[in-house]
Structure 1
Amino acid sequence: MEPQLQAIREQQRETWNRFSHGWRKWNDLTMDWLKPMGDEIIRLLEPKDGDVVLDVASGTGEPGLTIATLVKSGKVVITDLSENMLEVARESAAERGIRNVETVACDVCELPFADNTFDKVSCRFGFMFFPDMQLAAREITRVLKPGGKIATAVWASPEKNFWITAIMSTVGKHLQLPPPPAGAPGMFRCAQPGFMAAIFKQAGLKNITETEISAKLNISNTNGYWIFMNEVAAPVVAALSKADDQLKEKIKGEVYELVNKRYPHGEIAIDSTALIIQGEK
C-alpha cells in the first residue's frame, strides 16, 4: 500500500479507537438506528446454518453478531481496524451468549485469510472510509468462495441524511472548512448511485443489485442529539474543533432551531438513507 494510503489507514485506526467510548455508551441507540440497513444486508446474503461469514469494518459487532445467531453451526469472523471497537463487539457477544464469533483486528486491504474462505461477506458503512476502495473490494472477493455473496451499506446523498447535515451544514455556514481531497475517505464518498456497483464489477463480482433503505435515528430531544453527535461522529468533532466556545454555542443554538423546526412536535426521529449493494462471486 502506498505511503499516503497507509497514513490514512493509521489515522482511521486512531480515530475509531478514540471514539470507541462514545460508541459503547450509545451502542443500543446506534444499533437500533442502523438495524434496517443490517437487516437488508442479511436478507440479501441469505445466511444459512453452517455458513462461514466475514463481517468487515464491523465496529461494535453488527450485523455480524446477528448473522452469527442464524448460522448456528457455522461461524462469523468480525473484523475492524480498531481493537477498541472490537472490544465492544466481544462484550456484546458475551452479553447475548453468542459463541460462534471470532474478532480479528485487521485492514480490509490486507485481509489475513486464505482465498475462498467465506460463504458470505457483510460490510455495513465501511467502504466510504477505506483508503483504497478498489483494493478492498478485490481483497473481499479473493476471500469469498465461488458463488458466495457480499452485501454492503453506504450512505446515500446528503439531502437524504439530515442526521449529519443538520450539524455539518450549520458548521459550514460559520467556518470555511477546506473541501476534502478528491477521493478522500468521507461520509458521502460512495453516495452516487452506481458508484459501488462499478467498484464491485471491477473486482470481478456479478449479479450486482442496488437498493435504497431508510431509517430513523430515534433520539429523545435536541440536546440528546447534540451530545450523541459529539460523542460518535468524528467529522462533527473535527469541524467543531475549529470554532471557539462562543461560536460553538452559536452553532449549537442554530442546530437546535433547525432540528426543532423539522420535528416541531418533540418526537425527534431523524431521517437517514443508505444504499445497499450486493454482488456475487
Structure 2
Amino acid sequence: MESELEQIREQQRASWNKFSPGWKKWDDLMMDFLRPMGNEIIQSLQLKETDHVLDIAAGTGEPGLTIAALVGKGKVVITDLSEDMLDIAKENALHKGINNIETLACDVCELPFPDDRFDAISCRFGFMFFPDMLLAAKEMARVLKPGGRIATSVWNVPEKNFWVTAIMSTINRNMELPPPPPGSPGMFRCAQDQFIADLFVQAGLKNVTQKEVLSQLKTQTTEVYWTMMTEVAAPFVAALSKADDATKEKIKTEVFQAVKDKFPDGNVHIDASALVISGEK
C-alpha cells in the first residue's frame, strides 16, 4: 500500500511540475476565479497579526501570499509537492513585495514539522489529490497548535461546476476511458456533503463547519476557456492525448457548442461551487 501511495505522489509531483508553465501563464485568471474560496478560508481562520501559518498544496502561492500580507508580524510557510509551482509562488511574492514567507516542497502525509507548530493551516483545493486524505488531515492536526484552526476548500458536486463538466462529460461521451478506481484522486472526490467535515472530526478536530462558496470563471470567450483548460488541467490533457485527431476535433467542437448554448451572448462567465470546511484543534 505504501508503494502505491508513493507512486501516486510521484505521478502527481511530475504532473504539477509539467503543468506549471500553464499555471504561470493563466495565473491572473485562475487566481481571480479561486479568490472567493481563498477569502472564505482566510475568514474562517480568524487570523492574528502575529500568527505563524502553514499553507498546504499552495501551487502558485495562494491563499498563502494573501495571508502573509495579513500577518505582517507573523510568517507563512507555503508548501506544495511541486518545486516548479513553488518557484512561481516565490516570483509572485517578489512581485508583491511580500517577504514574510518561506516555501518548502513536501508531502502533506509526512509534514516535516514538530507537533503544535502553527497557529493556523490553510489548504485550498488540495484534499481531492491527497493519496491518503485521513492521514493528511491527521498530519495537519498534529502540527497545529491547540486552539488553532484549519480551513480547506473542495469542489462541490459536478452539477454545480459546468466549468469542469463541459469538457469532462464531452470527453467521456466520445471516448471509452476506463473509470478510475473508487476513491482515487479526482476533482469531485470530496464533493459529498459533509465528507471533509467527517474527515476533520476523525482527525480530532472540533467545532467543524461547512459552507458553500460560489465563484465564476470569467474567460470572456470560449476560445480562452478551451485554451486555458487544456493548458492547466492534467486529466483533460491526459485523456485528449489518447484520442486521434478526428476525435479531438469532435470533442473540441462539441465543447464549444455546449458553452455557446450556455452563453449565447458570447460572454463566458461560468458558475462554480465549492465547499469550505473549517475546524479547530
Q: TM-score, normalised by structure 1?
A: 0.99
Match of 1:160 in 2: 160
CA distance in 2, matches of 1:247, 1:179: 19
Q: Residues 166-185 of structure 1: matches in 2 within 5 Å?
A: 166-185=166-185
Aligned-partner residue type, residue 248 of structure 2: K
Would you say 1:98 and 2:120 are equivalent positions?
A: no
CA distance in 2, matches of 1:37, 1:141: 21
Gapped runs of 5+ residues in structure 1?
Answer: none
Cα offsets for 1:59-89 (capped at 9, x unmatched): 0000000000000010000000000000000
CA distance in 2, matches of 1:161, 1:177: 21
Q: Percent identity?
A: 64
Cα offsets for 1:78-125 (capped at 9, x unmatched): 000000000000000000000000000000000000100000000000
Match of 1:36 in 2: 36
Match of 1:223 in 2: 223
SS in 2 for 1:184: coil
CA distance in 1, matches of 2:172, 2:81: 30
SS in 2 for 1:271: strand
SS in 1 for 2:242: coil
CA distance in 2, matches of 1:181, 1:154: 20
Match of 2:77 in 1: 77
Would you say 1:246 and 2:246 are equivalent positions?
A: yes
Count of residue pairs brought into register by the alignment: 281
CA distance in 2, matches of 1:134, 1:86: 25
SS in 1 for 2:128: helix
Aligned-partner residue type, residue 179 of structure 2: P
Q: Flag as ranges the 4+ runs of structure 1 deviating above 4 A.
A: none
SS in 2 for 1:59: coil
SS in 2 for 1:170: helix
CA distance in 1, matches of 2:222, 2:266: 9
Match of 2:210 in 1: 210
CA distance in 2, matches of 1:183, 1:258: 29
Aligned-partner residue type, residue 215 of structure 2: A
SS in 2 for 1:135: helix
CA distance in 1, matches of 2:148, 2:250: 51
Give the Å deviation of 1:220. 2.5
Match of 1:46 in 2: 46
CA distance in 2, matches of 1:177, 1:272: 25
Aligned-partner residue type, residue 158 of structure 1: P
Match of 2:3 in 1: 3
CA distance in 2, matches of 1:29, 1:216: 10
Match of 1:143 in 2: 143
SS in 2 for 1:204: coil
SS in 1 for 2:103: strand
Would you say 1:110 and 2:110 are equivalent positions?
A: yes
Give the Å deviation of 1:271. 1.3
Aligned-partner residue type, residue 114 of structure 2: A
Match of 1:267 in 2: 267
SS in 1 for 2:84: helix
CA distance in 2, matches of 1:236, 1:274: 20
Aligned-partner residue type, residue 151 of structure 1: A
CA distance in 2, matches of 1:271, 1:240: 24
Q: Residues 56-67 of structure 1: matches in 2 within 5 Å?
A: 56-67=56-67
Match of 2:278 in 1: 278
Q: Residues 14-25 of structure 1: matches in 2 within 5 Å?
A: 14-25=14-25
CA distance in 2, matches of 1:195, 1:180: 19
- Superposed CA RMSD in Å reads 0.7
Aligned-partner residue type, residue 178 of structure 1: P
Gapped runs of 5+ residues in structure 2?
Answer: none
